[in-house]
Amino acid sequence: MLAIVLLRANTEHVEFFKLGKPDVPLWRNPRSPWPLIGVAYSTSGYTGSERCIDRAKQWLQDCEDNHPQCRQKRKPMLPKRVIELVDFADPPRLRLFESGPRSVVEADYLSLSHCWGEATPLIATTETYQRLRSRIPWESLPRTFRDVILLARHFLIRFVWIDSLCIIQDDQADWVSQSTEMCRIYERSYLTVFATHAENSVQGLFSAEPLAHLPSRIRGHDPISDQKFCIYARKTIRHTFASGRHALKEEAPLLTRAWSYQERLTSRRVLHFGRREISWECIEGTKCECSPEHMGAYSNKTHSLRRTLALKSAKEISKEWQKMVSEFSGLALTFSSDRLAALAGLAAKLQALRKGTYISGAWTDSVAFDLAWYSNSVHSKRSDCVAPSWSWASLDSKVFFLPLEELRFYAIEEQATLATIITNQTTIPACVQAIALSSQFIESQAQQSSQALYQFQIDTKPLEKCMNRRSYLGSHTIHFYPDTSETMHDLPCPVFFFRLLALHRGERWLYAYLVLQESNEIEEQRFKRIGLCVLRFDNQPEHLLRDLGVEKSILLI
């Protein structure tokens, strides 16, 4: 909001006019007599200040005292390795502490979520491991690591978990073992500290607000109450839990990283160190320096997902999984091979709450809906050995699913069923998991009539016209989503259609078909996914779809 202030000498009248949507909102303190202007607070100007640390302590204590969902009944077992503050000197003496089967330690610890950046931070390796157990030199730590250790000292907490030091980075067995524990490590952490604003471990946890962003003060006087007051203006502070994706890339680069998604979602409490302020997220609420204590407006999807996980509602978990995947799939990874690994801990946590089994990004109790994903990106590429073609994780782009909010009003007429999961097949690469599905199967042939797609005798040309947009045929719509740009420009022939879902609401029908091509890599007839086709009809389409396909079980890899 941009305001123009007019002071009229004879009436002492003040008027405010909105001009568009500038990036300089007005705010007042609670004692101001101007109810039309929102209440806010000034920030400390430096997120490592005593005022900021005291505010974080208040939030933590309030959460511990008043949030039963956030509390742990007993102190957790320490992770296999943690950084120990041997003393609280300045600087503290540090060492890498390892607990074993016979030396289990129960204690509170902080965990850190951070961007590694291009420069590799101090790491534990098979060569340095024993030296780090004896002593971690303070001067060898990057700034972010030092800052989180100083924060632990402020909170009187002796242990800190940092991935690069607590996992032996050149030991594949240790990495696999500890990465599967990561979800539990963050969940049990007393507090997870997010270096939200930092692009690497050198930039540090704390940051100073630029002078240009500090608030400007407008002094005023209320003649009725004879009270003096102030109104303030400052550049908008973008909250980490309300900002769009582009704002996050600038203001909160850590939140654009895929690994941090799982860490944020499973942590009971998160303390963000942003570019201009600190902010707080826990199962029961969100807070920040600049806004009043109650921030219901910022209880976004991530917050509601965390609440859902805490409540352990199997029904809600099933509904939310696709939302999680859609959010997660749009985040960045250094290694595409981590696409499933970075969500594996969360999936393992959900496994206890679902009837189905988790397989490469989908669940056996909702397989037809979980396979009905699509990408809108024209730059999508498929990684052959990251995940099977039917999994969203095989693409390197953000994916979406059929709109469940709309479809909850539809009755299920038919859905593909999972016949079996194929494992231990020597003819299938180890990274590719095959599944056997049963439903209607249609083989297309090229060079059919111009209405081929409408008739389900699929021709490549009508398909190409439908790519990434709707094709209208009377009261019917057809939408084809190719998985990759290669599919878009070089559609194979023949293609095959496999029905995932047939839904209806009265006379309105929706069909979702996997678009497949036959795999030539192995002798047996198996298929790879190349896209998704969605058809909508305003009346029952039996005359269009009858006898066009056969009920068949196929192997999808």
C-alpha angle 533/538/539, rounded to 5°? 105
Alpha-carbon torsion angle 296, 297, 298, 300, nearest 10: 90
Beta bridge partners of 553: 438
- Of 311, 329, 359, the domain-final residue: 311
Identify whether residues 339 and 444 lie together within a single domain.
yes
Rounded Cα–Cα distance for residues 387 and 431 (Å): 6
Residue 213 lies in a domain: no
Identify whether residues 423 and 362 lie together within a single domain.
yes
Residue 229 lies in a domain: no
Residue, of 8 and 445, whose pLDDT is higher: 445
Rounded Cα–Cα distance for residues 254 and 235 (Å): 22
Mean pLDDT of the chain: 79
Residue 12 lies in a domain: no
Answer whether 364's CB lies under 8 Å from 357's CB.
Answer: yes
Would you call 83 helix, strand, or coil by DSSP? strand
For strands 417-422 and 411-415, give the pairing: unpaired
Per-residue confidence (pLDDT) for residue 63, from 0 to 100: 94
Identify whether residues 282 and 365 lie together within a single domain.
no
Per-residue confidence (pLDDT) for residue 88, from 0 to 100: 94
pLDDT band at residue 305 under the 50/70/90 scheme: low
- Percent of the chain at pLDDT > 90 equals 37
Q: In sequence order, what DSSP letters do the residues of 205-221 get, joined into one string?
A: S--BPPGGGSPEEEEEE
- Of 258, 290, 311, the domain-final residue: 311
Query: 374: Cβ–Cβ under 8 A, 6 or more apart, which residues?
Result: 399, 400, 401, 481, 483, 531, 532, 534
Per-residue pLDDT reduced to its tens digit, 429-472 = 445 567 777 777 777 653 332 223 333 333 334 444 444 444 44
Residue 227 lies in a domain: no
Query: 526: Cβ–Cβ under 8 A, 6 or more apart, which residues?
Result: 434, 518, 519, 554, 555, 556, 557
Domain span including residue 60: 50-207+242-311
Identify whether residues 342 and 281 lie together within a single domain.
no
The helix (run of H) or strand (run of E) holding residue 145 is helix 143-154
Identify whether residues 268 and 338 lie together within a single domain.
no
Alpha-carbon torsion angle 61, 62, 63, 66, nearest 10: 130
Answer whether 229's CB lies under 8 Å from 39's CB.
Answer: no
Which tokens in the block code for residue 529?
A: 């996914």
Per-residue pLDDT reduced to its tens digit, 413-424 = 888 888 777 654
Rounded Cα–Cα distance for residues 410 and 509 (Å): 9
Residue 1 lies in a domain: no
Identify whether residues 384 and 498 lie together within a single domain.
yes
Identify whether residues 202 and 326 lie together within a single domain.
no
Per-residue confidence (pLDDT) for residue 380, from 0 to 100: 83
Answer whether 397's CB lies under 8 Å from 530's CB.
Answer: no
Per-residue confidence (pLDDT) for residue 403, from 0 to 100: 83
Chain-centroid distance of CA 361 in Å reads 14
Rounded Cα–Cα distance for residues 21 and 500 (Å): 45
The helix (run of H) or strand (run of E) holding residue 249 is helix 245-251
Task: Count CB-CB contacts under 10 A for residue 553.
Answer: 13
Report whether the peptide linkage leading into residue 91 is cis, meaning its omega lies within 30 degrees of zero: yes
Residue 223 lies in a domain: no
Residue, of 510 and 473, whose pLDDT is higher: 510
Residue 131 lies in a domain: yes
Residue 225 lies in a domain: no
Per-residue pLDDT reduced to its tens digit, 168-197 = 999 999 988 898 898 899 999 999 999 999
pLDDT band at residue 104 under the 50/70/90 scheme: confident
CA-closest candidate to residue 406, choices 505, 318, 327, 502:
505
Per-residue pLDDT reduced to its tens digit, 130-171 = 999 999 999 999 999 999 999 999 999 999 999 999 999 999
What are the residue ranges of helices labelled H in 252-332?
Answer: 258-266, 301-311, 314-329
Per-residue confidence (pLDDT) for residue 72, from 0 to 100: 87
Residue at 357: amino acid letter: T
Answer whether 221's CB lies under 8 Å from 228's CB.
Answer: yes
Residue at 245: amino acid letter: R
Answer whether 276's CB lies under 8 Å from 213's CB.
Answer: yes
Which tokens in the block code for residue 274?
A: 């942003």
C-alpha angle 135/136/140, rounded to 5°? 145
Identify whether residues 299 and 413 lie together within a single domain.
no
Rounded Cα–Cα distance for residues 408 and 65 (Å): 39
CA-closest candidate to residue 196, choices 144, 235, 120, 118:
144
Integer CA distances (angstroms), 207 to 51, 54, 145, 251, 295, in order: 14, 16, 14, 12, 23
Identify whether residues 252 and 184 lie together within a single domain.
yes
Rounded Cα–Cα distance for residues 57 and 37 (Å): 29
CA-closest candidate to residue 103, choices 80, 76, 132, 130:
80
HSE of 339, CA atoms in CB hemisphere, 13 A: 26
Rounded Cα–Cα distance for residues 533 and 347 (Å): 28
> Number of folded domains in the chain?
2
Answer whether 275's CB lies under 8 Å from 251's CB.
Answer: yes
Which tokens in the block code for residue 380?
A: 């999508």
Chain-centroid distance of CA 446 in Å reads 41
Identify whether residues 98 and 172 lie together within a single domain.
yes
The 3 state secondary structure assigned to 101-130 is CCCCCECCEEEEECCCCCCCCCCECCCCHH
Identify whether residues 251 and 130 lie together within a single domain.
yes
Answer whether 206's CB lies under 8 Å from 48's CB.
Answer: yes
Residue, of 81 and 418, whose pLDDT is higher: 81
Identify whether residues 445 and 481 lie together within a single domain.
yes
- Of 262, 278, 311, the domain-final residue: 311
Residue 248 has pLDDT above 80, yes or no: no
